Structures are given as structure tokens and as C-alpha cells.
Structure 1
Amino acid sequence: MIQSVQRAVQVLRLLAAEGSRLGVTELSERLGVAKPTVHAMLRTLEAEGLVVQDRESSKYGLGPGLLHLGNAYLDGHELRARSMTWADALATRANEAVWVGVLTGDHVLVVHHAFRPEGAVQILEVGASIPWNTSALGKAMVAFGPEAEEKRLLEGRLAVLTGRSVTSPDRLAEQLEEARQSGYAIEDQESAIGDASIAAPVFDRSGQVAGAIGVVGPVERLLAEDRRAELAVAVRETARNLSRDLGAGRGYPRRVG
């Protein structure tokens, strides 16, 4: 790896994680890098629009150039492009919001969000990052992904967002096996109290997991006995159709590797 590039990425990640501006000294201490080196990196990133400096505090924050890069990533993302029609159809069929996500490290990145057709004001969640273990999307992808990846994630840090977040590796392993048997995963108030989700994996032409699609909404609607099975069928069927659109075979794939 090129160390200077790696450090520049670490600067951007620190600024993103902090959620507020940081100064040269703070970044230097957190990175363990000399202040002149950090300052030089920041000036380069600023020239490219990836960070901006507050003139009053002299501290740095993320710049608008990252938004352009993020939009370019979404615009060129095949899963997102092909999921739009299927996600809208699922939202209409289920009368619930629909998310499409991909796994990035130990988090799920929401790449598409179809609003619930009949509902109050809703917030667009495209770009949201959710710990894999608190998301039905994440569980669906890990359950059908490589065994080595599942092992790594179960042995890693398991996030806690609510009192219902599952942090037991053994219990999570059981949930992943249940997802493999049923073809879908469930999240019950593990990301936000009162909310639940049902998701199924999406596969590409090579049979690998490309992402996941699922419905999201109030727990009393999604996991009610009279609706859960119906929604699970709708989600699985949509995931299969989207997988076919990506070139996957007709059969419901099992995990690869």
C-alpha cells in the first residue's frame, strides 16, 4: 500500500466518524503522524475539494467533492440501477418502505430507498450506514456470503444500537442459519426501537452475493403474525427477480465458499 494515500483516507474517515471539524493537532495525535505531514495532506485534500477549512476556527471538515464522488458511485452502481423498478414494485405490493443495501466492511450501505406509498413524511436513507448485525439486510448478505467473511464478522466488534441489538456470536450464528434455511433474515428493533425489517439476499451472475433488498417499517406491522409470512414471500420473490436481472441463475443460490 502507498502510505500517503492510506493516511489521506484515514484523515477522511476520522472527519466522517467525528461528525464535527478537527484541527491539525487533533488529527496529528489521532493518526500518530507529525503535524507538518498532516497539514500538507489537508492542504492537498482541500485543493481537491475533499475537505474544507473553517476560517474562524482553522479546523477542517469534509468537503463537497466527496458528495460528487458518492453520487458518481451510486450512479454507476449496477445493483442500485437495476433495483429501482423492483424496489418500487415491492413497496407498492407491501405498502412499506424498501431498502437496497450492500456490505462494506462490517456495515451495510443503503444504496436505494423506495418510499412507502401511503405514509407520512419520510426521510431518504440513501447513504445511511448501518452495522451489519443490527440489520436484516446485513444478516441476509452475511448468511449467504463466504463462510470466512461470516467468521470474521462474528469474531469482530458487534455494534449495539438498542437494547435489542444482538451481540452474542452464538445467537447471531443461529439467526444466520435460520436465514439460510428460510431464504430471508429478520431484524426486530435492533437498529431503532419500534422498527423492524425483513430482507433477502440478491445474487449476481457469478452466484456471489451482490447485496440485499428488504422492507422496513413499524414492528407492529411487519412482524405481526398475519403479515410476516406474506411480506417474507414478497421480499424473497423480489430478490429472486432482481437476481435474475443481474444475471443469476434460476435456482435459489446457496452460499459460495
Structure 2
Amino acid sequence: MARTIQSVERAAALLRLLAGGERRLGLSDIASAMGLAKATAHGLLRTLQREGFVEQDERSGKYQLGAELLRLGNSYLDVHELRARALVWTDDLARASGESAYLGVLHHGGVLLVHHVFRPDDSRQVLEIGALLPLHCTALGKVLSAYDPVAHSELAELELTAVTDRTVTDRAELEKELVRVRDRGWAGDLGGTWEGVASIAAPVFDRRRMPVGAVAVTGAVERMTVAGGAADGELSPRLIAAVRDCARSVSRDLGAGRF
């Protein structure tokens, strides 16, 4: 019978312990539950913390699962499956909205476009699959940063560069916007990434209710806002509803159930 590596077994047992029961546990609780000396448990925790698998709450000193586990878990869902599930729904979204529809996922501190449906008119358009968009100003990026802890941690490491004169570069202001995104379930961009262009995005969840991507529509500000608005106008409620319906449909196809 093949020999096992004790330190790996202990690390796996520790992660399972943090995954069940209380959300956060102290060092004494962990050591007692695992039958380990505090020094041994502390060494395991520090190693896992360095790798991002465990995080320590600054105020309580207790430990919880880290964001790196979410990244690994999300890799279980193949991007090709996500794209396949979204094909019909994003086609419907482009047709219903009259605008370009996109599907994006987190990738190397940005948003990777993995699917793009052209605006349903006769205009000349460029396929944007494979483009990497910024997290901090695009509607897709803001949705991912609001719902995905890994995306949020990557955003914290990025410089908030001004792409246009409407790009939010103040970190506190951006954090407030992400709270609003979580509260209402969608994100918008009015000229913050491209002059005269607006976008609306909503999150896609898998069967574990984990955020695995986002869908969006993008078009000229005058078509995307109420009454053909200015750059500070109100985004169209009809388009917001269409994007959210698309995101819910893709999520249900991925097993997220009704929400």
C-alpha cells in the first residue's frame, strides 16, 4: 500500500475543519479538534496562510478559508462549459437589447472576454473574444470584483488608472460602488472605459452559488440610457432587466437553481 504524507493529510483535515461548522476558528479550537499541539497547528496554519488557502481575521485572530480555494474551485468549472451554457442566452440578449453581448471571466487581474455576440445590425464590428479588459472600470470587472473574493483581492493590488476622465480612480469611492453593485445585483459603466460608450453587467453563478463569470451588453450612451441621455444619464431599466434575466438563465443552466 502506498505511503501517505502526514503533513499533507493534516493540511487537508484542517481545511475540511474550517469548511464545516463555525465560519471562523481560533488556534486552540483547531489544535484541540485535530488532536495536535498548538505549535504544530500554528505551523500548518501559517503555511496555508502564505499560500492563500487560509486567512486570519485581524480583529479576532481566528482563522477561515482563504480566497485561493475559491480560485481552485472555480477551475473545476471549465470555461468552455460556461461558454456553451451561455451561447443561446447571450444570443437572445443581443437580439432583445439590440446591442453587443459579452461573457467575461476573471483572468490575471482583468476580465477575459470568452464570448462575444455582435450587435444585430449591419454595422462593421470586430470580434473581441480573447480581449483582456480592466477590472476597476468596466461593468464586467465591477461585477466580478463585487461578487468574487479572488477578483476583489486582485483589484486591491492594481493601480486604478484613469482610462477616461470619467474613470473612478479613488479606491474608497470604488469600494462604495462595489457595495451598491452587490445591493442591486448589477453594475454599470457610463463612459468610464470608453468615451461615449455605456455597459451593463450582471453576475453568473454555478451550482455551488459561486461567481464564475458575468454577462454584459455594451453600446453607445445615447442608446443605453433613458431618453438618449448624456454621459451622466440613467441607464435603461429595460436593458438592466434583460442583462439580469440573461445572467439568471445562464446560472440556472449551470445548476444554481432559482434566485
Counterpart-to-counterpart distance in 1, 2:188 and 2:156: 17
Counterpart-to-counterpart distance in 1, 2:157 and 2:210: 22
Amino acid at match of 2:119: R
Instruction: Work out whether residues 106 and 151 of structure 2, in 8 Å CA contact, stay in contact via their aligned partners in 1.
Output: no
Instruction: Work out whether residues 221 and 227 of structure 1, in 8 Å CA contact, stay in contact via their aligned partners in 2.
Output: no
**5+ long unaligned stretches in structure 1:** 1-74, 252-257
Structure 1 position 119, deviation (Å): 4.4
2:198 corresponding residue in structure 1: 196
1:28-64 deviations in whole A, cap 9, x for unaligned?
xxxxxxxxxxxxxxxxxxxxxxxxxxxxxxxxxxxxx
1:233 lines up with 2:241 in the alignment: yes
Structure 1 position 241, deviation (Å): 0.5
Structure 1 position 154, deviation (Å): 3.0
TM-score normalised according to structure 2 size: 0.64
TM-score normalised according to structure 1 size: 0.65
What percent of counterpart residues are identical? 45
Counterpart-to-counterpart distance in 2, 1:152 and 1:108: 11
1:136 lines up with 2:139 in the alignment: yes
Structure 1 position 249, deviation (Å): 2.4
Instruction: Work out whether residues 98 and 114 of structure 1, in 8 Å CA contact, stay in contact via their aligned partners in 2.
Output: yes
Counterpart-to-counterpart distance in 2, 1:227 and 1:155: 30
Task: Give 2:220's match in structure 1, choosing from 218, 228, 248.
Answer: 218
Distance change (3 Å), C-alpha of 1:131 and 1:76: closer
Pick the structure with greater CA Rg. 2
Number of corresponding residues: 176
Counterpart-to-counterpart distance in 1, 2:102 and 2:252: 18
1:44-99 deviations in whole A, cap 9, x for unaligned?
xxxxxxxxxxxxxxxxxxxxxxxxxxxxxxx9611111111110000011111101
Task: Give 2:83's match in structure 1, choosing from 80, 93, 111.
Answer: 80
1:205 lines up with 2:207 in the alignment: yes
Name which of structure 1's ranges 216-225 and 94-103 shifts more when overlaid on structure 2.
216-225
Structure 1 position 152, deviation (Å): 4.4
Superposition misfits of 4+ residues, deviation over 6 angstroms: none
Instruction: Work out whether residues 104 and 114 of structure 2, in 8 Å CA contact, stay in contact via their aligned partners in 1.
Output: yes
1:179 alignment partner, SS class? helix
2:71 corresponding residue in structure 1: none
Counterpart-to-counterpart distance in 2, 1:179 and 1:227: 14
Structure 1 position 158, deviation (Å): 1.7
1:171 alignment partner, SS class? helix
Instruction: Work out whether residues 162 and 169 of structure 2, in 8 Å CA contact, stay in contact via their aligned partners in 1.
Output: yes
1:113 lines up with 2:121 in the alignment: no
Counterpart-to-counterpart distance in 2, 1:108 and 1:232: 20
